[in-house]
Amino acid sequence: MGTPREPWSTPHSRSRLLQLLRPGVNNKGQQLVEFSLVFVFLLVIAWIPADFGIAFYTGQLALNASREGARIGAVTNPFNIDDVKTETCKRLPRALLVDAATNCAPYARAKVTVTPPAGTACNQQLSVTVEGKYNFFFYRFLNLMGVSVDPGVDIKHTTKVRWEHQDTCA
């Protein structure tokens, strides 16, 4: 038989050993590519909860605007639909809700519907509805990437209150 060979005795094996012992010799740009891939992934992971939080916050703003508009309408005598709509629209953020059938310009881009108190009963109620669409940034990003997704969610809040100025109630 022959004498056993050492594992690093050939010139090819020695160069491979030197490459393993000196990292970074032939991997120029590898860190930049890895960082780019991981950074985009981490950015998406961080943005999704923030985007849903902004959507929840927008829903709360719409709910508060409908409540405040209904309260303004409940204490107003004589009742004026245009005043209630205007005051409700002033309480909505312009940038967050989007609706094609908006009637809040120039205050917001949402739709406000006011139902006046009607009837002769003692329990006359009025309602204020705020509706719009919140467009998720992440879904718009997916649309840019070629994935077909509806980028928005409908937000609709209605508040009903008793009208305070009812002459028939004692």
Residue with tokens 């409940």: 74
Domain boundaries in the chain? 31-162
Task: Report pLDDT for 26.
Answer: 61
Q: In percent, how much of the chain has pLDDT > 70? A: 78
- Secondary structure (3-state) at 115: strand
**Helix, strand, coil shares, percent, the chain, to 5:** 45, 15, 40
Q: What is the pLDDT of residues 10-69, one digit of tens each?
A: 666 666 666 666 665 566 788 888 888 899 888 888 888 888 898 899 899 999 999 999
Nearest-5° Cα angle at 117, 79 to 113: 80
Please give the torsion angle defined by the CA atoms of residues 76, 60, 160 and 118, in that order, rounded to the nearest 10 degrees: 60
Residue 32: C-alpha distances to residues 18, 27, 115, 145 (Å): 24, 10, 59, 22
Question: In the sheet where 111-115 sits, what is the strand order?
Answer: 111-115, 125-135, 152-162
**pLDDT, tens only, 123-165:** 888 999 999 888 888 777 777 888 787 778 888 999 999 888 7
Judge contact between 107 and 89, C-beta under 8 A: yes
Q: What is the pTM of this model?
A: 0.70
Q: Which two tokens stand for residue 33?
A: 């590519």
